[in-house]
Structure 1
């Protein structure tokens, strides 16, 4: 069983969405965690757009990366440049992956425009997660 950590700045949107999809695609083949360099709470819009795609992340919590320093991770995935720069050292044979997704929480506009930005980022993360699992979790 592989251990996977998804890391972003506040563990509120991108890493939560990635955790949801990685768990969905990996099933019983991986333990998936998400954390932030800071904790901002899970964004309700992220919960909503994931529910729209059939993934329930409503019970997720915003966790700080320090909570997971003792877990032997196989993979650490950073989903924003800030997290990549601030990511702590994890001992062992840890494979690091990075993809900078735009922060949908910074979207401007009316409600529909903001929702559309969350969905756009969600869909990019979904593709990334599906490909990651196909290529790395066996």
Structure 2
């Protein structure tokens, strides 16, 4: 399992892919984890940063990058995290051994009170943690 490389792909690369990136890196710092977006926003969603900070994972130093940056690299896994039916899931055209989809709702699209919106970030954060822990356990963890 040396030098596993995982790319997490989303549309905006500001929220879900960033949280997934933070979790996967926290499970095993030896994995090379990157995240990118097909329409990268160029910035992180501050609620996503706050939701991760609340559980002790700092993603504030992450960057929101275009998938173009990674097309020349080879990846062990490319994982898409878009969820909604109205959301076009990006396809990765680079070199990759395994393609997976682990979809989540986009909490940045939540509407309502501040409390409700925050609760959506927490719900999705916890779903991402569970989804990526399962992926890690089944595919990456040293057996």
**What TM-score, normalized by structure 2, do the two folds share?**
0.90
SS at match of 1:108: coil
1:62 aligned onto 2:64: yes
1:131 is displaced (CA, Å) by 1.1
Number of aligned residue pairs: give it. Answer: 135
Question: 2:127 maps to which residue?
Answer: 124
Aligned alpha-carbon RMSD (Å): 1.2
Question: 2:45 maps to which residue?
Answer: 43
1:83 is displaced (CA, Å) by 5.5
Question: 2:91 maps to which residue?
Answer: 87
1:14 aligned onto 2:16: yes
Provide the rounded CA distance (Å) in 2 between the counterparts of 1:124 and 1:111.
Answer: 20
Question: 2:137 maps to which residue?
Answer: 134
Give the 3 Å change call, closer, same or farther, for CA 83–134 of structure 1 in structure 2. farther
| Residue of structure 2 aligned with 1:78, choices 80, 104, 110 | 80
Deviation >6 Å, runs of 4+: none
Larger RCO: 1 or 2 (CA < 8 Å, sep 6+): 1
2:36, 2:65 within 8 Å by CA — same for their partners in 1? yes
**What TM-score, normalized by structure 1, do the two folds share?**
0.93
Provide the rounded CA distance (Å) in 2 between the counterparts of 1:15 and 1:48.
Answer: 15
More helix by share: 1
